Amino acid sequence: MALLIAIAGPALACAQTDEIQVYDAAIAAPGTLELTWHNNFIAHGSRVAAEPGGIVPDRSFNGVTEWAYGVTSWLESGLYLPIYTRTATGAVLYDGFKLRALFVVPDAVERRFFYGVNFEFSVNTAHWDAHRYTSEIRPIVGWHLGKLDVVFNPILDGAYDGLSNLRFAPATRIMYAIRKLDLGIEEYADFGPLKRFDPRPEQSHVLFGVADWAVHGVSVEAGAGFGLTRTSDHRVFKLILMWDLTGR
């Protein structure tokens, strides 16, 4: 059912997003509740909304609190609520919510090669997305190569308007561990619909420099992104904080 929901139909190609993250198949342990707070700020982006009445990306602050529960060693369920935006004018907006189910190979963190797939179903407000309902299917493939991690998420976004309209929006992550600090790069792209990719200048490609570390039981990920094409956001900053709420 999750697969049919996700592939039945492009998410709006807007600059804003609640989550800027590459999935590496790590999940909460069974019976564990985790909270991840996603934050991103578009310091220099488009000054025109993707749709009439939509949010202007430039100088918008976007985020969401993600509640995740470990169901089994291979399944994690999640709720993104609330998704929100603070616009450049100071308005605070509620953008909707998402449900997700993440299936992974057990003990992915300990494996040299790991894989999984994440399914999301979104209910959107009109200013956030022109489509009331959207979805995402996110395959996960990656390798732990000593201190080096390589992860690829070949994401498909849909709005229930046909398989050929699914958008290909892959995300890639390369990280190197230096003691308790991980440093690396991430690339987030939107090539356009599968039936015909957008011309290169109209595609979105943003390259991030990122750092991950743990501080007093809180996992922290920070990054700065730079647009590589004319339609990309030129400067984006992200901060992700994660807590284990069960204290395990």
Residue 124 pLDDT level (bands cut at 50, 70, 90): very high
Q: Which of 102, 92, 96 is nearest to 71 (CA)?
A: 102
2: pLDDT confidence band, cut at 50, 70 and 90?
Answer: very low
Q: Give the domain range for residue 236.
A: 2-244
Q: How many domains does the chain have?
A: 1
Q: Residue 84 in contact with residue 91, Cβ under 8 Å?
A: no
Q: Does residue 14 or residue 235 have the better pLDDT? A: 235
Higher pLDDT, 175 or 163: 175
* 7 contacts 137 by C-beta, under 8 angstroms: yes
Give the pLDDT score at 9.
34
> Are the beta carbons of 84 and 93 closer than 8 angstroms?
yes
pLDDT band (50, 70, 90) for residue 68: very high
pLDDT over 50 at 10, yes or no = no
For 78-115, how does the pLDDT look when each residue is reduced to its tens digit (9 = 90+)? 999 999 999 999 999 999 999 999 999 999 999 999 99
- Averaged pLDDT of the chain: 92
CATH number reported for the structural domain that contains residue 139 in this entry: 2.40.160.40
**Pairwise CA distance, residues 65 & 217, whole Å:** 18
Average pLDDT over residues 19-46: 97
CB 200 within 8 A of CB 186: no
Closest CA to 105 of 165, 31, 23, 185: 23
